[in-house]
Amino acid sequence: LWDKYACKEYKTSLNLLKKHCNYNRNTIPQISEISSFLQLQTNFRLRPVAGLISSRDFLNGLAFRTFFCTQYIRHSSMPLYTPEPDICHELLGHVPMFVDRDFCDFSQEIGLASLGASDEDILKLARCYWHSVEFGLCRGEDGTTHKAYGAGLLSSFGELEYSCKERSADDPYGVGDDGMPLRPVIKPWDPAVAAAQDFPITTYQPVYFLAESLQDAKLKMRKYCEDLPRPFFALYNAQTETVHIDRPVRRARGIPEEEGGGDSE
Protein backbone atom coordinates (compact mmCIF):
# COMPACT_ATOMS: atom_id res chain seq x y z
CA LEU A 1 0.00 0.00 0.00
CA TRP A 2 2.92 2.38 0.58
CA ASP A 3 3.97 1.93 -3.05
CA LYS A 4 0.46 2.87 -4.15
CA TYR A 5 -0.60 5.52 -1.66
CA ALA A 6 2.45 7.04 0.11
CA CYS A 7 3.90 10.31 -1.15
CA LYS A 8 7.18 10.15 -3.07
CA GLU A 9 9.09 11.83 -0.23
CA TYR A 10 8.07 9.07 2.14
CA LYS A 11 9.19 6.30 -0.20
CA THR A 12 12.54 7.97 -0.87
CA SER A 13 13.15 8.45 2.85
CA LEU A 14 12.11 4.90 3.72
CA ASN A 15 14.77 3.55 1.36
CA LEU A 16 17.40 5.66 3.13
CA LEU A 17 16.28 4.32 6.51
CA LYS A 18 16.52 0.76 5.21
CA LYS A 19 20.06 1.48 4.13
CA HIS A 20 21.31 3.42 7.16
CA CYS A 21 19.09 2.55 10.15
CA ASN A 22 18.34 -1.18 9.93
CA TYR A 23 14.76 -0.77 8.77
CA ASN A 24 13.93 -4.37 7.85
CA ARG A 25 11.83 -7.34 8.88
CA ASN A 26 14.53 -8.94 11.02
CA THR A 27 15.73 -6.15 13.32
CA ILE A 28 14.23 -3.48 15.57
CA PRO A 29 15.50 0.01 14.63
CA GLN A 30 17.03 1.86 17.58
CA ILE A 31 15.83 5.37 18.42
CA SER A 32 19.36 6.62 19.19
CA GLU A 33 20.69 5.49 15.80
CA ILE A 34 17.69 6.95 13.96
CA SER A 35 18.03 10.26 15.81
CA SER A 36 21.72 10.51 14.89
CA PHE A 37 20.86 9.85 11.24
CA LEU A 38 18.10 12.48 11.25
CA GLN A 39 20.45 15.07 12.71
CA LEU A 40 22.86 14.49 9.83
CA GLN A 41 20.09 14.65 7.23
CA THR A 42 17.79 17.44 8.41
CA ASN A 43 19.01 18.52 11.87
CA PHE A 44 15.91 16.98 13.46
CA ARG A 45 16.17 14.69 16.47
CA LEU A 46 14.03 12.26 18.45
CA ARG A 47 13.62 12.63 22.21
CA PRO A 48 11.97 9.66 23.97
CA VAL A 49 9.18 10.39 26.44
CA ALA A 50 7.34 8.09 28.83
CA GLY A 51 3.83 9.07 27.75
CA LEU A 52 1.62 11.81 26.37
CA ILE A 53 2.61 15.42 27.00
CA SER A 54 0.66 18.65 26.60
CA SER A 55 0.06 20.14 23.16
CA ARG A 56 2.06 23.23 24.14
CA ASP A 57 5.10 21.23 25.27
CA PHE A 58 4.94 18.97 22.21
CA LEU A 59 4.66 21.85 19.73
CA ASN A 60 7.35 23.86 21.54
CA GLY A 61 9.73 20.96 20.94
CA LEU A 62 9.18 21.18 17.19
CA ALA A 63 10.45 24.78 17.30
CA PHE A 64 13.84 23.32 18.29
CA ARG A 65 13.57 20.60 15.62
CA THR A 66 12.90 18.02 18.33
CA PHE A 67 10.21 15.36 18.08
CA PHE A 68 9.02 13.81 21.33
CA CYS A 69 8.80 10.09 20.64
CA THR A 70 6.98 7.34 22.55
CA GLN A 71 8.70 4.00 23.18
CA TYR A 72 5.96 1.52 24.11
CA ILE A 73 4.30 -0.86 21.63
CA ARG A 74 0.59 -1.59 21.20
CA HIS A 75 -0.88 -4.65 22.90
CA SER A 76 -0.67 -7.89 20.95
CA SER A 77 -4.44 -8.35 21.27
CA MET A 78 -5.00 -5.25 19.06
CA PRO A 79 -2.15 -5.17 16.51
CA LEU A 80 -4.06 -3.08 13.96
CA TYR A 81 -5.08 -0.16 16.19
CA THR A 82 -3.93 1.86 19.15
CA PRO A 83 -5.77 4.93 20.53
CA GLU A 84 -2.43 6.49 21.52
CA PRO A 85 0.74 6.79 19.42
CA ASP A 86 3.14 3.88 19.90
CA ILE A 87 6.58 3.03 18.53
CA CYS A 88 5.05 1.50 15.37
CA HIS A 89 3.30 4.79 14.65
CA GLU A 90 6.47 6.79 15.37
CA LEU A 91 8.94 4.70 13.36
CA LEU A 92 6.70 3.79 10.42
CA GLY A 93 4.65 6.98 10.25
CA HIS A 94 6.64 9.95 11.50
CA VAL A 95 10.33 9.11 11.17
CA PRO A 96 10.53 8.65 7.38
CA MET A 97 8.98 12.07 6.84
CA PHE A 98 11.56 13.68 9.12
CA VAL A 99 14.22 12.67 6.59
CA ASP A 100 12.67 15.22 4.19
CA ARG A 101 13.78 18.82 4.71
CA ASP A 102 10.59 20.49 3.44
CA PHE A 103 8.53 18.42 5.85
CA CYS A 104 10.87 19.24 8.74
CA ASP A 105 10.69 22.96 7.96
CA PHE A 106 6.90 22.69 7.79
CA SER A 107 6.76 21.00 11.20
CA GLN A 108 9.08 23.61 12.68
CA GLU A 109 6.86 26.45 11.42
CA ILE A 110 4.08 25.13 13.65
CA GLY A 111 6.50 24.79 16.55
CA LEU A 112 7.90 28.31 16.26
CA ALA A 113 4.39 29.75 16.14
CA SER A 114 3.54 27.93 19.38
CA LEU A 115 6.20 29.77 21.41
CA GLY A 116 4.39 32.38 23.48
CA ALA A 117 1.04 31.58 21.84
CA SER A 118 -2.23 31.88 23.74
CA ASP A 119 -4.11 28.75 24.79
CA GLU A 120 -6.65 29.47 22.05
CA ASP A 121 -3.95 29.62 19.39
CA ILE A 122 -2.25 26.49 20.74
CA LEU A 123 -5.53 24.67 20.09
CA LYS A 124 -5.63 26.07 16.55
CA LEU A 125 -2.03 25.01 15.89
CA ALA A 126 -2.69 21.55 17.35
CA ARG A 127 -5.58 21.13 14.93
CA CYS A 128 -3.36 22.23 12.03
CA TYR A 129 -0.79 19.68 13.16
CA TRP A 130 -3.42 16.94 13.33
CA HIS A 131 -4.79 17.65 9.86
CA SER A 132 -1.34 17.80 8.26
CA VAL A 133 1.54 16.08 10.06
CA GLU A 134 -0.78 13.35 11.35
CA PHE A 135 -3.41 13.01 8.61
CA GLY A 136 -2.31 15.18 5.70
CA LEU A 137 -2.72 14.37 2.00
CA CYS A 138 -0.94 15.83 -1.01
CA ARG A 139 -1.36 15.42 -4.75
CA GLY A 140 0.55 12.70 -6.56
CA GLU A 141 2.96 13.48 -9.36
CA ASP A 142 0.16 12.97 -11.90
CA GLY A 143 -1.77 15.83 -10.29
CA THR A 144 -4.95 13.80 -9.81
CA THR A 145 -4.28 10.99 -7.32
CA HIS A 146 -4.07 11.57 -3.57
CA LYS A 147 -0.99 10.53 -1.60
CA ALA A 148 -0.47 10.40 2.15
CA TYR A 149 2.20 12.28 4.06
CA GLY A 150 0.49 12.18 7.48
CA ALA A 151 1.89 9.67 9.99
CA GLY A 152 -1.52 8.51 11.15
CA LEU A 153 -2.25 7.34 7.61
CA LEU A 154 1.18 5.94 6.80
CA SER A 155 1.15 3.76 9.93
CA SER A 156 -2.40 2.42 9.35
CA PHE A 157 -2.96 0.30 6.26
CA GLY A 158 -6.74 0.46 6.71
CA GLU A 159 -6.99 4.25 6.91
CA LEU A 160 -4.26 4.70 4.29
CA GLU A 161 -6.43 2.97 1.70
CA TYR A 162 -9.63 4.58 2.98
CA SER A 163 -8.19 8.09 2.64
CA CYS A 164 -6.43 7.72 -0.71
CA LYS A 165 -8.34 5.26 -2.87
CA GLU A 166 -10.20 6.59 -5.89
CA ARG A 167 -13.98 6.59 -5.68
CA SER A 168 -16.78 7.27 -8.10
CA ALA A 169 -18.97 10.32 -7.69
CA ASP A 170 -21.88 8.00 -6.86
CA ASP A 171 -20.24 6.53 -3.76
CA PRO A 172 -22.36 7.65 -0.77
CA TYR A 173 -21.29 9.66 2.24
CA GLY A 174 -22.53 8.90 5.73
CA VAL A 175 -21.66 6.38 8.43
CA GLY A 176 -21.65 2.59 8.10
CA ASP A 177 -23.03 0.00 10.51
CA ASP A 178 -19.59 -0.25 12.14
CA GLY A 179 -19.62 3.46 13.00
CA MET A 180 -16.93 4.27 10.42
CA PRO A 181 -17.44 6.97 7.76
CA LEU A 182 -18.28 5.46 4.35
CA ARG A 183 -16.06 7.96 2.55
CA PRO A 184 -14.17 11.08 3.62
CA VAL A 185 -14.63 14.69 2.66
CA ILE A 186 -11.47 16.07 1.01
CA LYS A 187 -10.83 19.80 1.49
CA PRO A 188 -8.03 21.93 0.02
CA TRP A 189 -5.24 22.56 2.51
CA ASP A 190 -6.04 25.85 4.23
CA PRO A 191 -4.58 26.23 7.75
CA ALA A 192 -7.28 28.72 8.76
CA VAL A 193 -9.98 26.16 7.93
CA ALA A 194 -8.01 23.28 9.46
CA ALA A 195 -7.54 25.29 12.67
CA ALA A 196 -11.32 25.29 13.18
CA GLN A 197 -11.93 21.67 12.16
CA ASP A 198 -12.59 19.27 15.04
CA PHE A 199 -11.60 15.62 14.69
CA PRO A 200 -12.33 12.20 16.19
CA ILE A 201 -9.58 10.05 17.72
CA THR A 202 -11.30 6.65 17.77
CA THR A 203 -12.49 6.32 14.14
CA TYR A 204 -11.20 7.07 10.66
CA GLN A 205 -11.18 10.79 9.92
CA PRO A 206 -14.32 12.13 8.21
CA VAL A 207 -12.35 15.08 6.76
CA TYR A 208 -8.86 15.27 5.21
CA PHE A 209 -6.96 18.27 3.88
CA LEU A 210 -5.20 18.02 0.52
CA ALA A 211 -2.08 20.10 -0.22
CA GLU A 212 -0.73 20.56 -3.72
CA SER A 213 2.71 19.49 -2.44
CA LEU A 214 4.76 19.53 0.76
CA GLN A 215 6.21 22.86 -0.37
CA ASP A 216 2.67 24.21 -0.78
CA ALA A 217 1.74 22.94 2.70
CA LYS A 218 4.79 24.63 4.22
CA LEU A 219 4.27 28.01 2.54
CA LYS A 220 0.59 28.20 3.49
CA MET A 221 1.38 27.20 7.06
CA ARG A 222 4.10 29.85 7.27
CA LYS A 223 1.69 32.54 6.03
CA TYR A 224 -0.94 31.45 8.56
CA CYS A 225 1.58 31.52 11.41
CA GLU A 226 2.81 34.97 10.44
CA ASP A 227 -0.73 36.30 10.78
CA LEU A 228 -1.28 34.89 14.29
CA PRO A 229 -1.15 37.48 17.09
CA ARG A 230 2.00 36.78 19.10
CA PRO A 231 3.97 38.60 21.82
CA PHE A 232 7.14 38.09 19.74
CA PHE A 233 8.42 36.39 16.60
CA ALA A 234 10.88 33.54 16.96
CA LEU A 235 13.74 32.64 14.63
CA TYR A 236 15.70 29.41 14.83
CA ASN A 237 19.51 29.55 14.56
CA ALA A 238 20.61 26.21 13.09
CA GLN A 239 24.29 26.84 13.91
CA THR A 240 23.70 27.20 17.64
CA GLU A 241 20.40 25.25 17.76
CA THR A 242 18.79 28.08 19.69
CA VAL A 243 15.72 30.25 19.18
CA HIS A 244 16.04 34.04 19.07
CA ILE A 245 13.13 36.42 19.57
CA ASP A 246 12.69 39.88 18.11
CA ARG A 247 11.86 41.79 21.31
CA PRO A 248 12.44 41.62 25.06
CA VAL A 249 10.18 39.32 27.02
CA ARG A 250 8.98 40.27 30.46
CA ARG A 251 8.93 37.31 32.82
CA ALA A 252 6.46 37.33 35.71
CA ARG A 253 7.98 36.50 39.10
CA GLY A 254 6.07 35.04 42.02
CA ILE A 255 2.36 35.23 42.65
CA PRO A 256 0.64 38.63 42.29
CA GLU A 257 -0.23 40.18 45.62
CA GLU A 258 -3.90 40.43 46.48
CA GLU A 259 -5.36 43.92 46.57
CA GLY A 260 -4.21 45.75 49.69
CA GLY A 261 -1.68 43.15 50.75
CA GLY A 262 2.10 43.50 51.10
CA ASP A 263 4.70 45.39 49.15
CA SER A 264 5.33 44.80 45.45
CA GLU A 265 8.66 44.77 43.68
Do 94 and 151 contact (CB within 8 A), yes or no?
A: yes
Among the listed residues 9, 90, 134, 159, the single catalytic one is: 134
Among the listed residues 35, 107, 114, 155, the single catalytic one is: 155
75 in catalytic set: no
Using CA atoms of 71, 39, 194, 147 in order, give the dihedral in degrees to the nearest 10.
Answer: -90
241 in catalytic set: no
Round to whole Å and give the CA distance between 100 and 57: 23
89 in catalytic set: yes
Among the listed residues 13, 94, 131, 163, the single catalytic one is: 94
Do 109 and 218 contact (CB within 8 A), yes or no?
A: yes
Do 108 and 65 contact (CB within 8 A), yes or no?
A: yes
262 φψ region: left (φ > 0), alpha (ψ -120 to 50), beta (else): left
For 137-184, give the DSSP string.
Answer: EEE-TTSSSEEE--HHHHT-HHHHHHHHS---TTS--SB-TTS-BSS-
Among the listed residues 9, 89, 114, 146, the single catalytic one is: 89
Active site residues: 89, 94, 134, 155
